[in-house]
A and B are shown apart, each in its own frame.
Chain A
Amino acid sequence: MNQSNVVRTDRLPAVDPAAVAPRTLRLSYIVRIGLMGVIVALMVLPFVWMLSTSLKAQQYILTTPPQWIPNPLTFESYTGLAERINLGRTFFNSLFVAVVGTMGQIVISAMSAYAFARLDWRGRNTVFLLYLVTMMIPAVVMVIPQFILVRALGWMNTYAALIVPGLFSAFGTFLLRQAFLAIPKDFEEAALVDGANHFTIFWRIIMPLALPSLATLGVFSFMGYWNNYLYPLFVARQEAVVTLPIALATLQAGPRALTEWNMVMAGSVITVLPILVAYLLAQRWFVSGAISSGIKG
């Protein structure tokens, strides 16, 4: 990146930074607004469709041309859903597991990430490679061994079974390690001079600075717990602990009955809402979180 020319700044016309903003595509204003609208529409419309279907009565679901606004608009799919599955309890189960699990995962990943990013020890890179390797195995093959293990621990049909195994995520450690690596060492060095130990540095300096990445991990973690189906299917069979995706799966009747699609869509709406809320809450930190986990190799 050498510039050999010497530029005479008094001869330059005034440059409007936005006009030559290199990180953007320069388009006229209208086209830009138009494009924004198109993107929002493309991303959101399918969900609007889902919401619309959930508010339709059974017989109006299959129509040509597709009907956007339900007419008549009815909540029968939601009430039917609440009757069919124990909506209150399953929702609570899913929420409890997801919230506790997310908090736990953040703490454990952060501590592990600190060990990789800020402590220097022999074998560090090898162990980290081990973490990475665990992400390359399809999770499905682990389900049966995990089930047998959980059963041996006596955790069948408990919240522990749903929460604990998911706490140890290589992905979370990886994400936060990158984030911690991006934090300049200056803060620490100042603190060390003041006599702080590792835990103080971790808790008072690194964590607050990495808040955006923590929020990012929080959203992904919440999503993981909330949407998990295969593993909970094996360990949460009693109504006291059953989670939402499993309960909703029973709506999709096998070949021996008719599926009520409006109810299935209602279930989907209910499934998506909490994650949306979690995402909107974390929004403030979200993008900057991706920045800090900014990839420095």
Chain B
Amino acid sequence: MYRRLFVLCLGLSLLFVLPAAAQDTTTIRYFTFSAAPDHLEDLDTIITAFETENPSINVEVETAAFADYFTLLQAGVASGDAPDVFELNYENFVTYAANDTLLDLSSILDADAPFYPRALQAFQYEGQQMALPATFSTVLLFYNSDLFDQAGLDYPTADWTWDDAIAAAQTIRALGTDTWGLFSPTQFWEFYKKAAQNGECSFFNEDMTEATINSPACVSTLETMVGFMNDDLMPTAAELSGVSDSELFLSGKLGMLVTGIWMFGAFQEASFTWDVQIEPAINQHAHHFFANGVAVSATTEHAEAAAAWATYLAASETAATVRVDSAWELPALNEPAYFEAYLSQTPPANRAAVFTALESPVTPPVIERQNEMQDAVNALLTQVVDGELTAQAALDQAKTELDALIN
């Protein structure tokens, strides 16, 4: 009898050992801001597919609102507890790379992965691939077709310049006191893009040793932008009174709006016809290239698993199709097949403009003290809008402040 008991115990203990041996799962933590609150299920779909292909890896998701995300991420790094894989937008990438918090992904980068070259470049630091591009988005000219019809105007075309846009805006503005012509605010992101459209204005010189934001070309660009408000084509913040530019567009009272393609979903409920076009040019075209990347922490204990997840999220067909189908930003992959479904949805009818815009991309100027630069520039731009400073004076001041920030 004791022998039977002994064998039973042995058998039972084996039962404990075997699963333990099979349980070689690594758990990696993934921190993201773009998934919450609307795309958690989509992320789950991608994770399930990944875990099926990689049964020994388990992905745990943490989310935060964008406003808090970077504070939390930094606190995590500071306390030695950074997530294994995390999302980074382009503007913050440089800071993280410069502080040695990212794992070099150059060796795991699959040369066949169909990333847009520009997107790959965006996430390189000192020649090394420190993160993979996961998604991109851009900014286009949205217009209210009904208002254009009402004003008897032709719709914006791909060869429009800002002069054409201003003329159209004036006609639309004349339709009524609460109908506005266009909306393109005077702030940091719009300014560097218009600077690129001007072609001769750039915030910094080539080797980033000096700020060149007060060059004559920049001053004239700024004056054009401020002109939108001064010529009464665009409402001031007080005239908007807390209504956002998107809400104004949705209410049918705005002729043209410069905003991002992420608004396609929200604008579906518009009660009027609308469409998009590439942004007008000054001397040339330039469009925002916003990219979110996925990076691996330099201090991760599961480098292989983390890198595998990062690559899957950025480059796999599953991830790409899930994103496109749910309108959750666009994968930074040069595979037209993925985008067929996207292109055939309407409104807007002219979705092809998204990819045309990609032919003239511009990324923001990025320095380590990024937020301070943005705040400083925005503060000075506001003063120009309010008439407290001339464009020249403001940009001279900006140069002084920016020079201090890069040294």
Q: Are A148 and B243 in contact (CB under 8 A)?
A: no
| Residue from A84, A85, A233, A258 in contact with B68 in the complex, judged by beta carbons closer than 8 Å | A233
* Chain B CB within 8 A of A79 CB: no
CB distance from A155 to the nearest CB of B (A): 12
Given known A-B contacts A237-B72, A250-B37, A256 and B67 have beta carbons under 8 A apart: no
- Known: A62-B243, A147-B79, A151-B79; 10 extra A-B contacts, CB below 8 A, are A84-B37, A233-B71, A238-B62, A250-B36, A254-B65, A254-B66, A255-B244, A256-B263, A258-B246, A258-B247
Name the residue on A nearest B242 (C-beta): A62
Given known A-B contacts A250-B65, A258-B244, A144 and B75 have beta carbons under 8 A apart: yes
* Chain B CB within 8 A of A7 CB: no
Q: Are B72 and A234 in contact (CB under 8 A)?
A: yes
Query: Which B residues fall within an 8 A CB radius of A?
Result: 36-37, 62, 64-68, 71-72, 75, 78-79, 81, 243-244, 246-247, 250, 260, 262-263, 266
Query: Which A residues fall within an 8 A CB radius of B?
Result: 62, 84-85, 144, 147-148, 151-152, 156, 233-234, 237-238, 249-250, 254-259
Q: Are B266 and A249 in contact (CB under 8 A)?
A: no
CB distance from A232 to the nearest CB of B (A): 11
| Residue from B71, B81, B266 in contact with A151 in the complex, judged by beta carbons closer than 8 Å | B81
Identify the 9 closest CB pairs spanning chains A and B, nearest first: A148-B79, A151-B79, A250-B65, A254-B66, A256-B262, A147-B75, A258-B266, A237-B62, A234-B75
Q: Name 25 interchain pairs, CB-CB below 8 A, sorted by A.
A: A62-B243, A62-B247, A84-B37, A144-B75, A144-B78, A147-B75, A148-B79, A151-B79, A151-B81, A152-B79, A156-B81, A233-B72, A237-B72, A238-B62, A249-B67, A250-B37, A250-B65, A254-B65, A255-B244, A257-B266, A258-B246, A258-B247, A258-B250, A258-B266, A259-B244
Q: Are B78 and A148 in contact (CB under 8 A)?
A: yes
Residues of B within 8 Å of A84, CB to CB, are 37
Name the residue on A nearest B266 (C-beta): A258
Name the residue on B nearest A143 (C-beta): B75
Residues of A within 8 Å of B78, CB to CB, are 144, 148
CA A148 to CA B80, docked complex, whole Å: 9
CA A237 to CA B62, docked complex, whole Å: 7
Q: Are B246 and A237 in contact (CB under 8 A)?
A: no
Residues of B within 8 Å of A156, CB to CB, are 81
Q: Which of A151, A152, A233, A256 has the most CB of B within 10 A?
A: A256
Q: Are B262 and A237 in contact (CB under 8 A)?
A: no
CB distance from B184 to the nearest CB of A (A): 14
Name the residue on B nearest A234 (C-beta): B75
Q: Are B67 and A237 in contact (CB under 8 A)?
A: no
CA A151 to CA B244, docked complex, whole Å: 39
Name the residue on A nearest B65 (C-beta): A250
Q: Are B260 and A256 in contact (CB under 8 A)?
A: yes
Name the residue on B nearest A256 (C-beta): B262
CA A85 to CA B37, docked complex, whole Å: 9
Residues of B within 8 Å of A85, CB to CB, are 37
Name the residue on A nearest B74 (C-beta): A144
CB distance from B39 to the nearest CB of A (A): 12
CB distance from A162 to the nearest CB of B (A): 16
Q: Are B67 and A254 in contact (CB under 8 A)?
A: yes
CB distance from B262 to the nearest CB of A (A): 5
CB distance from A289 to the nearest CB of B (A): 36
Residues of A within 8 Å of B67, CB to CB, are 249, 254
Q: Are B64 and A237 in contact (CB under 8 A)?
A: yes
CA A147 to CA B76, docked complex, whole Å: 9
Residues of B within 8 Å of A256, CB to CB, are 260, 262-263
Residues of A within 8 Å of B79, CB to CB, are 147-148, 151-152
CA A144 to CA B77, docked complex, whole Å: 12
CB distance from A154 to the nearest CB of B (A): 11
Name the residue on B nearest A156 (C-beta): B81
Residues of B within 8 Å of A148, CB to CB, are 75, 78-79
CB distance from B19 to the nearest CB of A (A): 26
CA A96 to CA B339, docked complex, whole Å: 48
Q: Which of A85, A147, A259 has the most CB of B within 10 A?
A: A147
Residues of B within 8 Å of A250, CB to CB, are 36-37, 65
Q: Which of B66, B71, B79, B81 has the most CB of A within 10 A?
A: B79
Given known A-B contacts A147-B79, A151-B81, A249 and B37 have beta carbons under 8 A apart: no
Name the residue on A nearest B137 (C-beta): A256
Residues of A within 8 Å of B246, CB to CB, are 258
CA A148 to CA B81, docked complex, whole Å: 10
CA A238 to CA B72, docked complex, whole Å: 13
Residues of B within 8 Å of A258, CB to CB, are 244, 246-247, 250, 266
CA A227 to CA B133, docked complex, whole Å: 38
CA A250 to CA B36, docked complex, whole Å: 9
CB distance from B350 to the nearest CB of A (A): 21
CA A125 to CA B299, docked complex, whole Å: 48
CA A238 to CA B29, docked complex, whole Å: 12
Residues of A within 8 Å of B36, CB to CB, are 250
Residues of A within 8 Å of B64, CB to CB, are 237
CB distance from B360 to the nearest CB of A (A): 22
Residues of A within 8 Å of B68, CB to CB, are 233, 249
Name the residue on A nearest B38 (C-beta): A257
CA A296 to CA B68, docked complex, whole Å: 44
CA A249 to CA B81, docked complex, whole Å: 24
CA A148 to CA B79, docked complex, whole Å: 6
Residues of B within 8 Å of A233, CB to CB, are 68, 71-72
CA A254 to CA B34, docked complex, whole Å: 11
Residues of A within 8 Å of B244, CB to CB, are 255, 258-259
Residues of B within 8 Å of A254, CB to CB, are 65-67
CA A226 to CA B156, docked complex, whole Å: 52
Residues of A within 8 Å of B81, CB to CB, are 151, 156
Residues of B within 8 Å of A234, CB to CB, are 72, 75
CA A70 to CA B368, docked complex, whole Å: 50
CA A84 to CA B246, docked complex, whole Å: 22
Residues of B within 8 Å of A237, CB to CB, are 62, 64, 72
Residues of B within 8 Å of A257, CB to CB, are 262, 266
CB distance from B242 to the nearest CB of A (A): 8
CB distance from B215 to the nearest CB of A (A): 29
CA A147 to CA B71, docked complex, whole Å: 12
CA A234 to CA B78, docked complex, whole Å: 12
Given known A-B contacts A151-B81, A237-B72, A249 and B247 have beta carbons under 8 A apart: no
